[in-house]
Structure 1
Amino acid sequence: MDVVRAPDERFANLPGYPFEPHWVDVPAPDGLMLRMHYVDEGPRDGQVVVLLHGEPTWSYLYRTMIPPLVEAGHRVLAPDLIGFGRSDQPVERSAYTYQRHVTWVVAWMDALELQDVTPFVQDWGSLIGLRIVGEQPERFARVMVGNGFLPTADRKAGRAFGIWRAFARWSPVFPVGRIVKTGTVTDVPKDVLAGYDAPFPSRRHLAGARAFPNLVPTEPDDVAVPANRAAWEALGRFEKPFLCVFGENDPILGRGDRPLIAHVPGAQGQPHDRIRGGHFIQEDAGPELARRLVDWMARTR
C-alpha cells in the first residue's frame, strides 16, 4: 500500500488550532500499520468526549468546540480519520472502504481504552460513529448528532447528493477549503480555509476525500447495508440520552434529525433543535454546540 503524509510544517500556526499532536497505529490491509492522529485535551479523569469529523474535513473543524468543552472539565478527543488531517493517507481510493473506516476508529478507541464515551458526530462522523454505537452500545454514555445520519439504503439519494458524488469522483480539482465554505452560512476567513486545505498539498493526498461520497451505501446491494441495517435496529433499542442539534440551512441533511428522533428511544424528551447553520454546523456554530453539549451532559449524568 502506497501511503503519504502531509508535511508537519503545513500544520504550523494554524489559526485557532494550538493543540499538541498525538498518534496511535491502527491496522491496514496486508499487515501494515497506519499512523492515526488525534487531539487529546483536558483532564484524563474528565468525562470522555469524542468529536468525529466527516468529509472532507479533519479535526480542525472542532477547533472552536474543544476549548469550552475542556474548560467544563471534560477530556476531549478529536481523531483525524485515515486519509485526513495529520493521519496517514493511502494513495489509492480502493484502500478506503466503509468497513475499514469503522475498523480504524474502533482500533483507535481500543488503543486508548475509551469507555463511557459521549460522541458528537457529523457527516461521515455519523456514518462511522452511529454504526459503532449500534454495534457497541455499552461503550457509550450518550450520543449527540449534528447534520448526520446512518444510511440503510431504504430511500433514494437525492439529486444534490448524486451531483456531489460525481464531482468527487470526476472533477479535475477538489478544493477542500472552498467545499467547506459552500457548506456554511457564515463567512469563513481565508486563513481558516487554508487550514482546511493544509492536509492536502497534492492530488496524492486527496484519495480518501475523493473516495468518501462513493462509499455511502445508497443501494440495497451495497456491501455495507447489512451491517448498517443491523446497527439501525440496535439504535432502535438505545435508551441512553440521544440528542440532535442540526443546522437548518443544510439542503441535504438539514431534516435528517426527524427519523433519528422518531427511531431512537433515548431521543425522547431531549432538547433537540435546529439552529442557523449549514452542513458544517461546527464551523457556523461551534461555541453554541459546545455550550449545548456541556449543559446537556450536566443534566444527563
Structure 2
Amino acid sequence: MAHLPEALTAMMPPMQTALVNGIEMAFYEAGPKDGPAIVLCHGFPETAFSWRHQIPVLAAAGYRVIAPDQRGYGLTPGPAEISAYDMEHLTGDLVALLDHLGIEKAVFVGHDWGGFVVWQMPLMHRARCAGIIGLNTPYQPRYRAEPISLFREVYGPDMYIVWFQAPGEADQALGADVAKTMRFFLRKPAALRDSSERKTGGSSFAFAAGLAAYDPATDQSQFLSQDEMAVYVALFEASGFTGPINWYRNFTRNWERGADLPTRIDDLPCLMIMAEKDAVLPPSMADRMGEHISDLEKVMVTESGHWTQQEQPEAVNRYILDWMRRRFPG
C-alpha cells in the first residue's frame, strides 16, 4: 500500500479498505454522505481507476460516489478458488460494501464485466437497487444453452473467452509482459476494428494471436497518458491476471445457477449508454433490451470504442448526470 503509483493517488480520492464478504476490498469514495449513492463497477482489464473522470464530477453534483477495485483486481486480493468469482460472490461483494457503508440502496453503474454484474443486481438483490446504468454492456437474458459451447461454436476455439477457460494458460500469456498487454487492450477502437486481430485463424476475437503479433513500438492508437498507463501496468504487475480471468471461468457456473432467476427488470429506472464504435459490445446488442426492462432509456456516445468512460468522459458524464438529475435529484 505504501508504493501506490503516483498518478493513482493524484487522480483518485484516498483509497480505503473494508472487510466484506470474505475479502478485503479496496474502494474510493467521494461526495456528500447524504447524497444518493452511485456505485461504479469497472470491467476487464481495468480497476476503479477507470472511473477517475466520473468520480469528481458526480461528487460535485451532490452524489455519494463509490468505486471499488472488484474481487481479484487492483488492490483487492481474491481467493484462489475459481468458484469464488461467480456471480453470487461478485454481487454479494457489492451488497456487503453497501452494508459496510450504511447504504440501503444505490444506483449501480457497470462497464464491460462490471456491466454484467450490475445487470444481475436487480435479479439477485432487488431490494438494494435504486437504479441501473449499463455502459457498453447491455442487459441480456440467460443464454439458450451452455455459453462456452456456444462461444466455441460461433467464434471458434481461439475466441478469447474460450481461451480463458484453461487455468494458467491465458494468465501466463497476459502476465509475461504486462506493459505490452495493457497497451494491447487499452487502445482506440480502430486498433481492433481494422487489424487482423479480430479475425485470426478463422476465429473472431482471437486475442492470443493478436497479443503475440502486437508491436507496441508501432502502435499509434493509444488514448491514455504515460502516467495513466503506468497506473494500470503497476496494478496488474502486482495483482496478476488470474483473479480477473477467473470471472470468465464462471460463465458456465453462472448459467447453471441462474436458471431460476427472474428474466425481467420491472419498475426500476435503467439507462443504457452505448458506444458507437465498440467492436466487442456493439450498440446492436442493446436492440431488444426494451423487451425485458419496463423503464429503460438508451443513449449513444459517438466516436467511442470500448473504453467509453475514458475515451469520451465528458459525454459519459453528461448522460449520467442528465439521467440522475431527472430520476434521483441530488
Give the alignment of 1:138-177 within 5 angstroms. Answer: 138-150=127-139, 152-154=142-144, 156-157=150-151, 158-159=154-155, 163-168=159-164, 169=166, 170-171=169-170, 172-174=172-174, 175=178, 176-177=181-182
C-alpha spacing 1:10/1:16, structure 2 compared with 1 (3 Å): closer
Aligned equivalents of 2:125, 2:162: Cα separation in 1: 33
- Assess, with a 3 A threshold, how the Cα gap between structure 1 residues 73 and 259 changes in structure 2: closer, same or farther: same
Would you identify which runs of 4 or more consecutive aligned residues in structure 1 move more than 6 Å? none
Q: CA deviation at 1:167?
A: 4.7
The one-letter amino acid of 1:233's match is: T
Of the three residues 228, 233, 236, the one matched with 1:197 is: 233
Q: What's the offset of the Cα at 1:299?
A: 1.5
Q: Which residue pairs with 1:178 in the alignment?
A: 183
Distance apart, 1:107 and its partner CA: 1.7
The letter of the residue matching 1:24 is A
Look up the match of 2:195.
none
TM-score using structure 1 length: 0.82
Offset from partner CA, 1:159-215 (integer Å, 9 cap, x none): 28952125545243313522432465662223212212222225x632112222332
Contact 1:183 1:250 in 2 (8 A): no
**What one-letter code is carried by the residue in structure 1 that aligns with 2:248?**
P
- Cα contact 1:89–1:207 (8 A) shared by 2: no
Letter in 2 for 1:173: A
1:104 aligns with 2:98: no
* Ranges in structure 2 where 5+ consecutive residues have no aligned partner: 191-221
Name the TM-score, length of structure 2 as normaliser: 0.75
**Higher Cα Rg: structure 1 or 2?**
2
Shift of 1:35: 0.7
User: How has the CA–CA distance of structure 1 residues 95 and 271 changed in structure 2, closer, same or farther, with 3 Å as cutoff?
Assistant: closer
CA distance in 2, matches of 1:280, 1:286: 10
- Structure 2 distance, partners of 1:90, 1:55, is 18
Structure 1 residues 141 and 182, CA, compared in 2 at 3 Å: closer, same or farther? Answer: same
RMSD: 2.6
Q: Distance in 1 between matches of 2:189 and 2:2?
A: 28
| Structure 2: distance between partners of 1:95 and 1:263 | 29
Q: Is the 8 A contact 2:299 2:319 kept in 1?
A: no
Partner of 1:22: 16
Alignment of 1:126 onto 2:115: yes
* Inter-partner Cα distance in structure 2 for 1:104 and 1:116: 14
- Native 8 Å contact 2:72 2:78 kept in 1: yes
Does the aligned pair in 2 maintain the 1:89–1:208 contact within 8 Å?
yes
Pairing of 1:35-54 with structure 2 (within 5 A): 35-54=24-43
Instruction: Name the % identity.
Output: 22
> CA 1:131–1:173 in 2, change beyond 3 Å: closer, same or farther?
same
C-alpha deviation, 1:224, in angstroms? 1.6
Q: Secondary structure at the match of 1:102?
A: helix
